[in-house]
Structure 1
Amino acid sequence: MKKSILWAASLAVLSLGVVLPVMSSFASAGPIENACNRSERKAANRQLCACIQQVADMTLKGGDQRRAVAFFKDPEKAHKVWMSKTDSDDAFWERYKAFGAQAQAYCGG
């Protein structure tokens, strides 16, 4: 079940790794944590969503985080960015892929 929420956060990720302590509260949640907590995925829980947000804070700037939030609501948007041929979409996708790999490594257990 955890993989379904991580899939939304990482879509094209293939690797795993280390554990990161979770010290975030819902009151100070970032955009990705909020979207994760509000998602209808069964694997979503506060601890997992907080972990994913911590990774986002380490790997994505605010604008990239806000852009990635849309993928929780509509995974088709991620597909469109992935298929896009623009340099800006390609650069974003590389950052997003790195975020997804880190989130899976830290939070995937």
Structure 2
Amino acid sequence: MMKKSLVTAALSAAVLYLSVPAAMAGPIESACMRSDRAAANRAVCGCIQQVADMTLKGADQRRAAKFFRDPDLAHTVWISKKPADDAFWERYKQFGAMAEAYCGG
């Protein structure tokens, strides 16, 4: 009985997650889904968003989401000498490493 209720709960959670409209997706997930990357799918993009939710504040998520659309922007931030950009880049690198570890490479 316990196994059945755990399976039912897991299935219910999966159905709920898959039924969440894209409009409710976070900025990273939305940008990922709109990207032209072959590996972009709801499961991977959703996983990356979950890691972003754990590691980045909203403003950092919105800034990082722009990298999907404009990879040159990431390079501009990376080479910047501004302390705020350096601090963001450190947070972004931690997010990237964690996303790779949790969501596959």
Q: TM-score, normalised by structure 1?
A: 0.76
Shift of 1:36: 0.3
Q: Which residue, 58, 74, 79 being the options, matches 1:78? A: 74
Q: Which residue, 28, 38, 51 being the options, matches 1:42? A: 38
Please name the residue that 1:93 is paired with: 89
SS at match of 2:31: helix
Q: Distance in 1 between matches of 2:85 and 2:49?
A: 22
Please name the residue that 2:9 is paired with: none
- Name segments (4+ residues, structure 1) moved above 6 Å: none
Unaligned runs of 5+ residues in structure 2 are: 1-12
Identity of aligned residues (%): 68
Higher RCO by CA contacts (8 Å cutoff, separation 6 or greater): 1
SS at match of 1:44: coil
C-alpha offsets along residues 36-92 of structure 1, whole Å, 9 cap, x if unaligned?
Answer: 001111110100000000000000000000000110001000000000000000000
Q: TM-score, normalised by structure 2?
A: 0.79
Greater share of helix: 2
SS at match of 1:40: coil
